[in-house]
Every structure is written in structure tokens, then in C-alpha cells.
């Protein structure tokens, strides 16, 4: 055995030992048992689709067989279908740092971005504020929706880097739409600082929490956020296409003027009157009939959060991503991959993005070997670390397999 092999074995043994010690001390380790995961597989794509909580299929069998099959229309009252958007919103609220009565569940993230952005411009109510500042690195749909909202409200879009938002907002700004975590790189943006700057400029801050909710503390109330949206199928494990949510700070609810005033947000929806009168509170964010099957799956899935402190989730998230970067540095030859994710904890979400020239082939082989991440074309390998079910041994294995795959895909380089 050559000196290089001896050194690698020593590194591997040391990292195995460290992973075992970290797993043994992990207060969230037992949460993994709540999820349906394959033995031996490493699932690092929870930032695209969270894993299935084991109890959800049985709960859904009851929803379909009893609530729909037997109670039928009675379930709107007897099974709580009608109140599900607010009830489930109140379950999500503590995960994003919101008091009850400010989060309503329903529709998609895209629809909620549209509602929030148009409503923000209407809440400001100043035609001289003719600009909507938008995160230039945003997930594409947010940009598409923002362009449409700007056309509808007679504003223009001003795209800026998230770090420049504080300097860009001013007397012409109506609202600013920013992603809390960059979906490509995992960079965590300064929600408290940006929110304060936007509000000091007399505008409203709208945040997209898709890549932060369920992975780290958000603090919507504490930081004075005006409006926020997010999905539930990533770190919240609500299932594919599960409904999104809309946060409307209590101080804005009376003036929240939705551009989609559906019958579900009417003050008296069953009166069926031709004129629209908005309901009180966060219910103003509802539009049409709720998607009950997805709602009830999400409600059941959220039970995995019972008794979990978001501070513990954040601590483990940072420890996992630190350890992954340490293992990648130990196993993967220098120059093969480059981390795009900030090293500083204050700037990191719960994923690691690695630039790799052979990213498509590498990710395909990783998945074939049971390490599931995802690809952002053309050259980004993206690994999401979900603290409720990803462990440190998983993390070490993922980095080791990554090194093996890179050697296979890039022989002799």
C-alpha cells in the first residue's frame, strides 16, 4: 500500500470516527425513524422534495376512506376541512417565527408571490413609488410573477443583487421581493438588515422562504417582515405539490387588498352575494376551494415537528454542512469541485452547492450509487441537508462516494 493510500485510509478512519461521535450526540437523531427512507441510501435532496413521514399514508387512507368516502360533504364541518388553511397556517407559524393568525395555507408559491407583491404595492398606496426592487438572483418564477405584478400595478422592476437591496431602495420604492436563501448556492441573505432598510425607505418587504423555512430560524415577527411566502414540500416535508403559505403581518391585515379576491376570502362566503367584502385577518389570503387531500397530507406531515426546537435544527444544519465540506476537502482531489456556498455560518442556508465541470455525469452516477442530490445546469451539484433525517454518517458517505465518482468520471485528471 502506497503512502497516498495509507494517508487516505487514515483520513477515512478519522472521519468515520468523528461521524459516529457526532451522530451519538445528536439530539435530533431519533427523528430519522419518523421518515420512510431506504436503508443505505443517502437522501440529500430534501431542499427539492422532503422525505415522506411514515405515518402520512395511514392518515391519508382515513381522509380518503372515511372523511371523503363516508362523511362526504359533512367533512367540511365535521373533519375541519373548511378551517384547514388557517389551522395548518398556525402549525407552520412557529416554524417561521410568527404568532398565530398571520399565516394561511393554500395555492402555490407563485400564486402567493403574486398576491403578496400586488397587495404590498396597494398597501403602500403611493403612485410616486413606481419601482419594485427584485432580487436579481431569484428563483425564476418569482421574477416572472414580479414582472406581471409590475405591469398590473403600473410599476417597473429594478433587479439588484440581494446584498445591494439596502442601498437600492428609496423614495421611489414600493416593495422589495427577496429570497431568504439562494436556491443555487445556498447563500443566506440578511433578512433582518434588508427588512429594516426597506421599511426605513417607506416600502414593504416581501420574502420568499422556500429554502429557509424548516431549515433555520426565520423570525418574521421579530424582524418586522411585512409579507412572506413559502412552499411546504421541501424542508417541511408536505409532499409533492403540497400547498404553499402566505404570511401577512397582523398590522397589514386590515388593509390587505388581494388581487385574487375569491369566494373563500369573502366575509360571508356562503351568502353568494355579487359584491365582494373581504374577510378579517389572514383569511384574506384565501382564494378558491382548498385542495383538501394535499392540505390534510401536509397537516399530518407537520407532526414530525412536534417538540423540535428550531435552534437545534439550525445547529445541526450548520454542523452537517461544515462536516460535509470537511469530508469533501479530505476526499476529493483539489480542483475537481469548488464550493459555491459561503463558509461563514451567518451567510449559509442548509445546502452545499459545488461547481463541477462534469456535474451532469457526476450527479447521475451519484444517484445510481444511492447518494441523491440534484443538478443545476450547467455545472452545479446541489446537496440539501435536512436535519430531521440526515445524519453525519450519511454525510461522510456522500462525500466519499462523490470522490469515487469524480475519479471515475474524470480519470487521470
Which one, of 339, 328, 349, lies nearest residue 217 by Cα?
349
Query: Is 360 found in the same domain as 285?
Result: no
Last residue of a domain, one of 305, 323, 356: 305
Helix/strand/coil for 207: strand
Q: Answer whether residue 40 is part of any domain.
A: no
Provide the grid cell at 77.
364541518
Query: Is 344 found in the same domain as 282?
Result: no
Q: Residues 208, 226, 291, 374: which is the catalytic one?
A: 208
Q: Answer whether residue 46 is part of any domain.
A: no
Chain center to CA of 12 = 33
Query: Is 226 found in the same domain as 239?
Result: yes
Query: Is 93 found in the same domain as 11?
Result: no
Query: Is 334 found in the same domain as 281?
Result: no
Last residue of a domain, one of 282, 305, 328: 305
Give the Cα separation of 59 and 72 in Å (integer): 16
Q: Answer whether residue 88 is part of any domain.
A: yes
Q: Which domain holds residue 99?
A: 57-305
Instruction: Provide the pLDDT for residue 409.
Output: 85
Last residue of a domain, one of 252, 279, 305: 305
Query: Is 247 found in the same domain as 340?
Result: no
Q: Answer whether residue 362 is part of any domain.
A: yes
Chain center to CA of 329 = 27
CA distances from 83 to 77, 104, 298 (A): 8, 10, 14
Active site residue 234: yes
Query: Is 366 found in the same domain as 261?
Result: no
Domain count within the chain: 2
Instruction: Provide the pLDDT for residue 11.
Output: 86
Active site residue 251: no
The series of mean pLDDT values per 10 residues for the chain, 413 residues long, is 65 94 98 94 97 98 98 98 98 98 98 98 98 95 97 97 97 98 97 98 98 98 98 98 98 98 96 95 97 98 98 98 98 96 98 97 97 96 98 98 92 51
Active site residue 235: no
Which one, of 242, 193, 240, 241, lies nearest residue 91 by Cα?
242
pTM: 0.96
Q: Answer whether residue 105 is part of any domain.
A: yes
Query: Is 225 found in the same domain as 368?
Result: no
Give the Cα separation of 195 and 364 in Å (integer): 40
Active site residue 316: no
Q: Residues 115, 155, 382, 397: which is the catalytic one?
A: 382
Instruction: Provide the pLDDT for residue 412.
Output: 47
CATH number at residue 367: 3.90.1150.10
Q: Answer whether residue 48 is part of any domain.
A: no
The CB-side HSE value for 2 (13 A sphere, CA atoms) comes to 2
Torsions phi, psi of 118, nearest 5? -65, -45
Q: Locate cell 421541501: which residue?
A: 234
Q: Answer whether residue 178 is part of any domain.
A: yes
Q: Residues 139, 235, 256, 331: which is the catalytic one?
A: 139
Q: Answer whether residue 47 is part of any domain.
A: no
CATH number at residue 222: 3.40.640.10
Active site residue 348: no
The CB-side HSE value for 393 (13 A sphere, CA atoms) comes to 12
Q: Residues 115, 129, 155, 234: which is the catalytic one?
A: 234
Amino acid at each position: 500500500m502506497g503512502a497516498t493510500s495509507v494517508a487516505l485510509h487514515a483520513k477515512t478512519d478519522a472521519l468515520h470516527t468523528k461521524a459516529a461521535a457526532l451522530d451519538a450526540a445528536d439530539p435530533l437523531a431519533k427523528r430519522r425513524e419518523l421518515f420512510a427512507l431506504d436503508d443505505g441510501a443517502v437522501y440529500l435532496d430534501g431542499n427539492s422534495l422532503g422525505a415522506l413521514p411514515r405515518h402520512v399514508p395511514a392518515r391519508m387512507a382515513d381522509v380518503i376512506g372515511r372523511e371523503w368516502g363516508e362523511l362526504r360533504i359533512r367533512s367540511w364541518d365535521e373533519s375541519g376541512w373548511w378551517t384547514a388553511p388557517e389551522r395548518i397556517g398556525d402549525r407552520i407559524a412557529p416554524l417561521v417565527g410568527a404568532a398565530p393568525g398571520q399565516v394561511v395555507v393554500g395555492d402555490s408559491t407563485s400564486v402567493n408571490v403574486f398576491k403578496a407583491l400586488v397587495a404590498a404595492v396597494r398597501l403602500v398606496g403611493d403612485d410616486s413609488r413606481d419601482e419594485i426592487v427584485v432580487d436579481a438572483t431569484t428563483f425564476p418564477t418569482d421574477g416572472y410573477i414580479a414582472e406581471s405584478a409590475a405591469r398590473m400595478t403600473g410599476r417597473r422592476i429594478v433587479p439588484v443583487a440581494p446584498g445591494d437591496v439596502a442601498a437600492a431602495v428609496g423614495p421611489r420604492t414600493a416593495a422589495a421581493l427577496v429570497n431568504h436563501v439562494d436556491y443555487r448556492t445556498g447563500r443566506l441573505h440578511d433578512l433582518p438588515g434588508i427588512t429594516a432598510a426597506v421599511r426605513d425607505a417607506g416600502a414593504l418587504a416581501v420574502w420568499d422562504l422556500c429554502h429557509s423555512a424548516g431549515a433555520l430560524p426565520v423570525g418574521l415577527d421579530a424582524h418586522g417582515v411585512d409579507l412572506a411566502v413559502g412552499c411546504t414540500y421541501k424542508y417541511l416535508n408536505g409532499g409533492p405539490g403540497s400547498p404553499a403559505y402566505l404570511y401577512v403581518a397582523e398590522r397589514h391585515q386590515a388593509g390587505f387588498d388581494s388581487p385574487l379576491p375569491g369566494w373563500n376570502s369573502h366575509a360571508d362566503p356562503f351568502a353568494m352575494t355579487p359584491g365582494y367584502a373581504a374577510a378579517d385577518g389572514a383569511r384574506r389570503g384565501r382564494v378558491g376551494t382548498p385542495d383538501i387531500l394535499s392540505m390534510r397530507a401536509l397537516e399530518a406531515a407537520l407532526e414530525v415537528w412536534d417538540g423540535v426546537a428550531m435552534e437545534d435544527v439550525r445547529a445541526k444544519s450548520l454542523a452537517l454542512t461544515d462536516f460535509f465540506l470537511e469530508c469533501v476537502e479530505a476526499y476529493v482531489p483539489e480542483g475537481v469541485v469548488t464550493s459555491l456556498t459561503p463558509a461563514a455560518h451567518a451567510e449559509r442556508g442548509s445546502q452545499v452547492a459545488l461547481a463541477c465541470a462534469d456535474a451532469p455525469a457526476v450527479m447521475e452516477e451519484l444517484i445510481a450509487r444511492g447518494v441523491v442530490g440534484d443538478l443545476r445546469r450547467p455545472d452545479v451539484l446541489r446537496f440539501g441537508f435536512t436535519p430531521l433525517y440526515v445524519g453525519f454518517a450519511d454525510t461522510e458517505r456522500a462525500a466519499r462516494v462523490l470522490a469515487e465518482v469524480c475519479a471515475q468520471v474524470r480519470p487521470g485528471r
